[in-house]
Structure 1
Amino acid sequence: MPKIHSAAAREIGGRIRAVRQELGISLEDLGELSEISWTSIGKIERGASSPTAETLVRLASALEVDPGMFLSGISSDAYGQRERQVSVRDLIRARGEQQRARERG
């Protein structure tokens, strides 16, 4: 069984594969059009590799789709457990509380 990079990589790869297959082109064709090796594209499609932003843009351009369609609805949770679960809202709230504490005391 192939190693999966993450749930996000598997979903993104599946979306790329679906568009490629819908258009009826091979991995080799997509590799030539995007200037990315077809073996790398195969790893991305299987979810074994997580594509860079540049790779997503190159693939989307070659497939004539918006690169955002590959990322739509994917959150950081799909990349696995994070060490810190703090959002920007939590950070701003904590800083405000620290500032108020300094002002009081």
Structure 2
Amino acid sequence: MSRAKLAQRADMDVRHLARIEAGDGNPTLFVLIQLTTALDVKTETFVKGLTSADLPENLTPYSEADFRRELRRRGGA
């Protein structure tokens, strides 16, 4: 399936899909669901078995403490 066709079926911009495919974009859960729906596969197909060890070396897992710190920074809690 072409990138253009997949983007159309997933109702997303083809440039966004290209960035994800190139590893330059990080899809949200919503986008993963759009893509798996367009491909007619289960969402778990994309994420099953992944762990924090699969993250690039320059990234670290996002902890609950990180989330709370970000909320405080934004004035949310």
The answer to whether TM tops 0.5 is yes
**Gaps in structure 1 of 5+ consecutive residues:** 1-24, 85-105
**Gaps in structure 2 of 5+ consecutive residues:** 64-77
CA drift of 1:47 comes to 1.0
Q: Give the match for residue 16 of structure 2.
A: 40
The within-5 A match list for 1:1-105 is: 25-79=1-55, 80-82=59-61
Between 1 and 2, higher relative CO (CA 8 Å, sep ≥ 6) is seen in 1
CA drift of 1:82 comes to 4.5
1:82/1:64 CA distance change after superposition, 3 Å = closer
What is the CA deviation profile of residues 28-70 of structure 1, one whole-angstrom value per residue up to 9, with x for unaligned ones?
Answer: 1011101011111111111111100000000000000001110
Amino acid at match of 1:67: T
Q: Distance in 2 between matches of 1:33 and 1:53?
A: 17
Amino acid at match of 1:81: T
Q: Distance in 1 between matches of 2:61 and 2:33?
A: 26
Identical counterparts, % of pairs? 25
Amino acid at match of 1:69: T
Task: Give the number of equivalent residue pairs.
Answer: 60
| Poorly superposed stretches of 4+, deviation over 4 Å | none
Judging by fraction of residues, say which structure has more helix: 1
Amino acid at match of 1:72: K
CA drift of 1:78 comes to 2.6
CA drift of 1:73 comes to 1.5
Amino acid at match of 1:62: A
